[in-house]
Amino acid sequence: MQPETVLKTWFGYDAFRPGQRDVVDTILSGRDCLAVLPTGAGKSLCFQIPALMQPGVTFVISPLISLMEDQVAHLQQKHIPAACLNSSMSKRTYNQTLQDVEAGVYKLMYLSPERLQNQWFIRFAQKNPPSFVVVDEAHCVSQWGHDFRPAYLQIPDFIKTLPKRPLYAAFTATATPCVRQDIITGLGMNDSAAIVRGFDRPNLFFSKKSVADKDRALLDALEKVKDRSGIVYCATHQNTEKVFRLLQRKGYAAARYHAGLTPGERNRTQADFICDRIKIVAATSAFGMGIDKENVSFVIHYNMPQSLEEYYQEAGRAGRNGEESYCLLLYSREDFAINEALARQQEKPERALALLASMWDYAQHEGCLRNYILRYFGEDVTGECGKCSYCKTKPFWQRFTNILRI
Ligand code: ADP
Ligand code: MG
């Protein structure tokens, strides 16, 4: 069966999006593959299609239970046999799932990287080897990335325990040339093909502001995007709570999300946001990895993140439906100082400080913002984008008003 037929039959789509077909072909050719495609490009399909075209099961390594469950639910809706194994499952369901894998029920099996270190699981996988291993959110392998997860570094050891080397592919949305190299090395990829496609998100308008009164700046910004969905990212729980209360006081349908809340409240916030019952989420970076919500119209950073990668990944959650959307970074010297102190406490402070330096450099940049970002991610760009707060010389909100036609 051709990949196009699988795309149509199982997923109901008529055509591949840019980059998808290349990735599918590379994987099927048997070459290790690192695919770097922007958020929303449709990376999942790039491995789900080869998975359906292979005999046997595909293991998908994913960093978060919520991500796994979300993807499995999507697949099940399309009647594609998929399951996940995670620590929140009962022993009974867990064992039943493994029995089903043994019986060849599933085409895709989602797992955490830690699972691959479990001796019992390793023996199971030796007896029931996957034909294809996928590493999703592969930047977690890099200590240069913002989501470093040590267990990702052990993935090649797991691959070596298998009786035969499976097809092997890794996916990420954010990777500088340096992180890309880290992924290839850290995952032990051989003769790998790196497929890097368009980091540009032409429908995002980039903007930044250094302001003393962030609350005022935030409210001014929100005034212009009334009734639209968006995320306000904050650096700390305290700031998230503060912004959440501010939004509530001003009558916005808002919720909050950070690691200090109960799983119940976090799940509720996520569900309410996805189903448009609330419009704005005040959140820390804990919110959003892999969130598949199309109509996020703006992402405002109330604080400056610790790296440009983190910034672009979070800002990139806006406009996945292709509509003109808006990204604003509010930053201050204080943000820098706080991030610097945090960076110095890290195990590898020099890396964290180098990442922060690029973030700060972006904040200070007097030039086209889009080009700055694209160059940072290794793209060759010249000229100006005409669609960022630098390129547009007219007053800021007037520009945004034009773009959104409001
Ligand atoms: P990523 O992991 O790259 O951020 P996803 O895999 O979550 O993106 O896909 C984003 C959305 O795009 C999903 O809703 C998916 O169904 C949709 N999508 C992916 N490929 C196609 C395609 N070829 N045609 C139409 N929709 C697609
Ligand atoms: Mg994804």
Q: Do both 89 and 114 map to the same domain?
A: yes
Flag whether 75 is in a domain: yes
Q: What pLDDT digit, counting tens, does each position of 94-108 carry?
A: 999 999 999 999 999
Spatial contact of 194 and 27, defined as CB atoms under 8 Å apart: no
Bridge pairing between strands 296-301 and 193-196: unpaired
* Smallest CA separation from ligand 1 atom 25, residue: 13
Mutate to test the pocket of ligand 1, among 46, 292, 296 (most ligand atoms within 8 A of CB): 292
Q: Do both 37 and 70 map to the same domain?
A: yes
Q: Kindly state the average pLDDT of the residues 203-231.
A: 94
- Strand-pairing partners, residue 26, are none
Q: How far is the CA of 22 from the centre of ligand 1 (A)?
A: 15
3 state DSSP class of 276: coil
Q: Do both 209 and 335 map to the same domain?
A: yes
Is the CB–ligand 1 distance for residue 397 below 6 Å?
Answer: no
What's residue 381's pLDDT? 83
Q: By percentage, how much of the chain surpasses pLDDT 70?
A: 95
We report the CATH number of the domain holding residue 118 as 3.40.50.300
Specify the number of domains making up the chain.
Answer: 2
Flag whether 395 is in a domain: no
> Above 90 in pLDDT, residue 291?
no
Identity of residue 151: A
Could you tell me the pLDDT band of residue 38, with boundaries at 50, 70 and 90? confident
> Above 60 in pLDDT, residue 35?
yes
Q: Do both 314 and 172 map to the same domain?
A: no
Is the model more confident about 388 or about 346? 388
Q: By percentage, how much of the chain surpasses pLDDT 90?
A: 71
> Above 70 in pLDDT, residue 344?
yes
Q: Do both 189 and 208 map to the same domain?
A: no
Mutate to test the pocket of ligand 1, among 43, 45, 320 (most ligand atoms within 8 A of CB): 45
Could you tell me the pLDDT band of residue 345, with boundaries at 50, 70 and 90? very high
Angle between helices 369-376 and 349-364 (to 10 degrees): 150
What's residue 292's pLDDT? 66
Flag whether 133 is in a domain: yes
Domain boundary among 347, 364, 381: 364
Q: Do both 229 and 256 map to the same domain?
A: yes
Is the CB–ligand 1 distance for residue 39 below 6 Å?
Answer: yes
With CA atoms as reference, report the closest residue to 64 among 121, 112, 118: 112
Q: Do both 140 and 233 map to the same domain?
A: no
What's residue 406's pLDDT? 42
What's residue 405's pLDDT? 46
Q: What pLDDT digit, counting tens, does each position of 347-401 carry?
A: 888 888 999 999 999 999 999 999 999 998 877 787 788 899 999 865 555 455 5
Q: Kindly state the average pLDDT of the residues 111-120.
A: 94
Q: Do both 187 and 47 map to the same domain?
A: yes
Q: What is the pTM of this model?
A: 0.73
Flag whether 386 is in a domain: no
Q: Which domain holds residue 8?
A: 3-196
Domain boundary among 196, 231, 256: 196
Q: How far is the CA of 163 from the centre of ligand 1 (A)?
A: 33
Flag whether 392 is in a domain: no
Flag whether 383 is in a domain: no
CA 93, chain centre distance (Å): 29
Q: Do both 238 and 290 map to the same domain?
A: yes
Q: Do both 225 and 185 map to the same domain?
A: no
Q: Kindly state the average pLDDT of the residues 211-215.
A: 94
Domain boundary among 136, 171, 196: 196
- Mean pLDDT score across all residues of the chain: 91
What's residue 278's pLDDT? 94
What's residue 40's pLDDT? 78
Flag whether 175 is in a domain: yes
Q: What pLDDT digit, counting tens, does each position of 252-287 carry?
A: 999 999 999 998 999 899 889 988 999 999 999 989
Ligand 1 atom at shortest distance from the alpha carbon of 43: 3
Q: Do both 154 and 217 map to the same domain?
A: no
Spatial contact of 60 and 171, defined as CB atoms under 8 Å apart: no
Flag whether 125 is in a domain: yes
What's residue 122's pLDDT? 97
The sheet with strand 82-84 has its strands ordered as 82-84, 108-111, 58-61, 132-135, 167-172, 33-36, 193-196
Is the model more confident about 280 or about 18? 280
Is the CB–ligand 1 distance for residue 68 below 6 Å?
Answer: no
Q: Kindly state the average pLDDT of the residues 303-314.
A: 93
